[in-house]
Chains A and B, each alone.
Chain A
């Protein structure tokens, strides 16, 4: 029979068996939805994290003390005993470097901040006056540290939005004294509410000059050095120069690790791609389940319609006609299920995005053709066996089948 006619026939057969067809389609709908939604989650997460990274500034170079041989690692643990970065290193970089626009030594540690009225557990971040050039935070009141603040190790602090709120409420904070780990600091600046910036909640951080932070933690070992290249294209030169300067100061030994935006993005991408693949694998399994569902129902359908097959064969249908009929039915079911699955997942993600613009899990368009093709091929793969079974039923037995 001509293809078009079988298509019409199978569409009729599907409509005639609404419930059964709907249940079969459901497997495919869920399978395709799983594929699209899980891939969307994967790429959405990747998009989110990538944009977070880029908001940090793309020229950032991070130097951590210690060295691991592994490429692309996120840096060694902080407590690595080998290698040490000090303020002298920072000064050398500031003095000699041609390619860096800003350099700051940084300290990081937990602490307590107190006023007469309130206490707050916070993170203390030591940084110099150039730090804000590297990380681009917006100061809402006052200013970031000056060079004098840093050089003379003044006890001044720039505080995050949440800390200001919890310590001072709606009152003024600028110029007030706060106790950072029992040492008095004067508030000179307040950072605008920023939220999470890569694991740190900037709003919960108290920034103090590097020198005072070293004094506070009673050490000369920096947590690390942060620098920014003059231009994005100058990254490689900046990294080379920075390495050379530090190596010279460290007796030719490269006892530090440089992490740039690029290497961080690369390792992050590796993780995120793995995540996407893992999700895709899960989605593939649900597709498989959907396919097996189709096969099940088609096998039931073949048994149920044994007599119909007998009748069709008696009035002149060839084996190939029966085969085509059941194959096309399976494909029509799976493809309709696939299209519905695509439509529903688009509807869900776009609706979510409409009401929660921050929650962007809209599927990437490249997933749509493969999702559609997968539903098509699932129909074929899992339709073959039932269709072959149908085609090889003996006509006389089929006509007598009750």
Chain B
């Protein structure tokens, strides 16, 4: 069964008098281990699609099965739990807590995980956070605050935060948008490595250079989606 299964998803927004049809009958299946990009211009609906996949927003119509469970019927608390356990977010602007160290930022999702699973101890949280920071190559920057780190390092902290709960899916929204091309390349390589270890990666981008490196590209335009698989990468 597909890890992500969207069935006849619609999303409407009311912007004053105007009704915007942000997503128009989206049907989409993504299997575990895929490396997918969602591309499109601003206003095409790609961010809305990502928010729905990431359980940050609910569709107006249709059903979304995540890991076999119908998420459209979930309570707000269940959605929080699913975000915590199944999904790791990486944002364009990193979204780190500015006054917390790299370690504290990475520990945070596990702190919340420990409220869902009482077996997670403080020691485990610390150990996992350090391991994950090591995995993204930041073992020497553990106690630095975000503003003491470079853009690439900050994004690595954000990736470590996304990874620390061992999610099935990494959802990255323009992860290289604020980085120079060399650093972008490094981050992309990191995503590739994670994907090779089995994590499903979905990157939302308007950069065709990045989209071209993905096996599967979902192009959004006016709320409609075009699914294409590239043979050659």
Q: Which residues of A contact B (CB under 8 A)?
A: 1-2, 5, 9, 12-13, 16-17, 307-308, 310-321, 395-396, 399
Residues of chain A lying within 8 A (CB to CB) of residue B108: 311-312, 315
Q: A314-B56, A315-B84 are in contact. Are A399 and B111 (CB under 8 A)?
A: no
Give B105 Cβ to nearest chain A Cβ, in Å: 9
Q: Are A399 and B56 in contact (CB under 8 A)?
A: yes
Mark out the residues of chain B between 81 and 135 whose CB falls within 8 Å of any chain A CB in the assembled complex: 81, 83-85, 89, 91, 95-97, 99-100, 108-109, 111-116
Q: Compute how far the CA of A312 lies from the CA of B108 in the bound complex, rounded to whole angstroms.
A: 8
The total of Cβ contacts below 8 Å across the A-B interface reads 68
**10 new A-B pairs (CB below 8 Å) besides A1-B114, A399-B56?**
A2-B114, A310-B95, A311-B97, A313-B83, A315-B89, A316-B85, A318-B77, A318-B81, A395-B56, A399-B95
State the main secondary structure of chain A at its contact with B: helix
Give A308 to B104 CA distance when docked, in angstroms.
13
B 41-77 binary contact with A (CB < 8 Å = 1; else 0) = 0000000000100101100000000000000000011
Q: Are B77 and A316 in contact (CB under 8 A)?
A: no
> In the complex the two chains form, is A307's CB within 8 Å of B56's CB?
no
| Residues of B contacting A395 in the complex (Cβ-Cβ under 8 angstroms) | 56
Interfacial residues, chain B to chain A (CB-CB below 8 A): 51, 54, 56-57, 76-77, 80-81, 83-85, 89, 91, 95-97, 99-100, 108-109, 111-116, 161, 165
Residues of B within 8 A of A12 (CB): 100
In the bound complex, CA of A326 to CA of B165 (Å): 25
Give the residue of A321, A396, A399 whose beta carbon is less than 8 angstroms from that of B112. A321
The answer to whether B111 touches A1 (Cβ under 8 A) is yes
Cα of A366 to Cα of B161 in the assembled complex, Å: 50
Distance to closest chain A CB from B80 (angstroms)? 5
What is the minimal beta-carbon distance from A179 to any residue of chain B, in angstroms? 84
| Chain B contacts for A16, CB-based, 8 A | 99-100
Q: Contact check, B97 vs A316: say whether CB atoms are below 8 A apart.
A: no
In the complex, what's the smallest C-beta–C-beta distance from A308 to chain B, in angstroms? 6
Q: A315 — nearest CB in chain B belongs to which residue?
A: B109
Is A315 touching B76 in the complex (CB atoms < 8 A)?
A: no
Smallest beta-carbon distance A8→chain B, Å? 10
CB A400 to nearest CB in B, in angstroms, measures 9
Q: Report the separation of the CA atoms of residues A319 and B54 in the bound assembly, to the nearest whole angstrom.
A: 17
Please name all residues of chain A whose beta carbon is closer than 8 Å to the beta carbon of B115 when the two chains form the complex: 1-2, 318, 321
The chain A residue sitting closest to B99, CB to CB, is: A16
With A308-B97, A396-B56, A399-B56 given, is the CB distance from A313 to B80 under 8 Å? yes
Does A316 contact B95, Cβ atoms closer than 8 Å?
no
Question: Can you give 10 A-B contacts (C-beta < 8 A)?
Answer: A17-B99, A311-B97, A315-B84, A315-B108, A315-B109, A315-B161, A316-B80, A316-B112, A396-B56, A399-B56
Q: Would you call A316 and B56 a contact (CB within 8 A)? A: no
Chain A hits for B77, CB < 8 A: 318-320
